A and B are shown apart, each in its own frame.
Chain A
Amino acid sequence: MIEEGALGKMTAQFALLTLISFGGVNVVLPDAHRFLVDVHHWITDQEFADYFAIAQAAPGPNFMMFALIGWKIDGVIGAIAASLAIILPAGGLAFIGGGLWHYFREAPWRRAVQLGLAPITIGLVFSSGYVLSSAADHDWLTFGITAITAVVTLYSKINPLWVFAGAALIGTFALS
């Protein structure tokens, strides 16, 4: 372990962060960075950036980044504690929230909430696409990959994994 008591502090902090991470764990990354790098010096700036990149690239949810941080702080135990701290509070709340939401499925107010929220949710999906695109598309080739992926996944039945494999291959040879 990095220092006495680090495991407990990390677990408590992650459990707190997950409960305020409205919109996914990416929104609390700045706060996690402050806590881990600036306040406690448990990991370096470079490690934080590396863990983020690995979590983006590897199969599996992006919040697995926190498992890597836990691993650094206290090995396998740390990785398990970090993952549970992220998953269980949010999962418990989702169970209660989802149950209530379903219970009121016939209520007139719920239909209004649903109709009112749907366009905002869809706008947010487009925002994510746009943000991803502006981060990744710097030239005609990357822009072309984005456009072709959108057209192919929209109009053909092909498994998108093939498109991703092609994009990775093109990237390996043309974008390195």
Chain B
Amino acid sequence: MSEIRPVLAPRPGTDGLVDLFVAFLQISLSGFGGAINWAHRALVEKRQWMTDEDFTEMLSLCQFLPGPNIVNFAVCLGQRQQGVLGSIAALSGSVVVPFVIFLFLALFYSHLGKIDSIHGALTGVSAAAAGFMITVGIRLARPHRKRALSILFGTAAFIAMGIIRFPLVYVLLVLAPPSIIIAWVMKK
């Protein structure tokens, strides 16, 4: 059921830079419960700049790089579409406006956390965020569901990180080398 969709080419020049800025602004402003979910929606489903496989590939890269995932994602996708200016446009979209909103919130923070209804709303939003994350997981997993080894390593990663809660660094160090080596050997 892996849908093969055409990947739309970005518009050239300044228009493309504006597109990148706007896309990452939307992603960061709606980023309840993890910007990556909204990145998937904005970049794969709505704009069709990448396929599910492209998205997984870039997310793998961004998880391996240190720093906030959304920063890495903005830099890498911006670079691929428009070079260094693209990176700057995407990064600006994802951080500049939220930063201004944040300074505003900083002035009022002492009032925010103390209202009970806000805690209730936050709990509701967190519960929804968990569901949205699961949806993105299912979408990304679809193209890989027929490869037994992928199911094996995916399940191992889930158990190690989600259930046992090992730190990400160790999970990657232990699982990535065998998974890559097996993929390499089986291709030959």
Contacts and interface: CB of A to CB of B under 8 A. Distances in A.
Specify which of A120, A137, A143, A164 lies most central, judged by the most chain B CB atoms within 10 Å of its CB. Answer: A120
B134 A150 contact: yes
A114 to B, nearest CB: 5
Given A68-B106, A94-B65, 19 more contacts: A53-B122, A59-B31, A59-B32, A98-B80, A101-B76, A117-B60, A118-B57, A118-B60, A120-B60, A121-B60, A123-B155, A126-B133, A129-B133, A149-B131, A153-B132, A154-B135, A160-B30, A167-B124, A173-B120
A132 B135 CA distance: 13
B95 A83 contact: yes
Contact of B99 (A19, A24, A60, A167): A60
B69 interface: yes
Interface stretch (A4-12, A33-41, A85-93): A85-93
Interface string B134-178: 111111110010010111111111100111010111011001100
Contacts of A97: 61, 64-65, 76
B164 to A, nearest CB: 10
B10 to A, nearest CB: 15
Interface in B67-83: 67-72, 74-76, 79-80
Contact size range, A: 35 or more
Given A99-B79, A114-B60, A118-B144, A86 B67 contact: yes
Q: State the majority secondary structure of interface residues on B.
A: helix
Interface string A109-133: 1011111111111111111111111
Specify which of B66, B95, B172 lies most central, judged by the most chain A CB atoms within 10 Å of its CB. Answer: B66
Nearest to B153: A119
A125 B140 CA distance: 9
B28 A142 contact: no
Contact of A61 (B68, B110, B137): B68
A60 B173 CA distance: 30
Interface in A126-176: 126-133, 135-137, 142-143, 145-151, 153-154, 160-161, 163-164, 166-176
Contact of A125 (B65, B97, B136, B152): B136
B66 A171 contact: no
Interface of B: 28-38, 41, 53, 56-57, 59-72, 74-76, 79-80, 84, 87, 91, 94-95, 97-99, 101-103, 105-106, 109-110, 112-113, 116-141, 144, 147, 149-158, 161-163, 165, 167-169, 171-172, 175-176, 179-184, 187
A87 B150 CA distance: 33
A97 B63 CA distance: 12
Contact of B127 (A22, A87, A115, A167): A167
A167 B128 contact: yes
Contact of A146 (B32, B109, B130): B130
Nearest to B188: A108
Contacts of B176: 116-117, 120
Given A95-B84, A123-B157, A61 B124 contact: no
Contacts of B63: 22-23, 121, 124
Given A90-B67, A164-B32, A176-B116, A132 B79 contact: no
B128 A145 contact: yes
B17 to A, nearest CB: 16
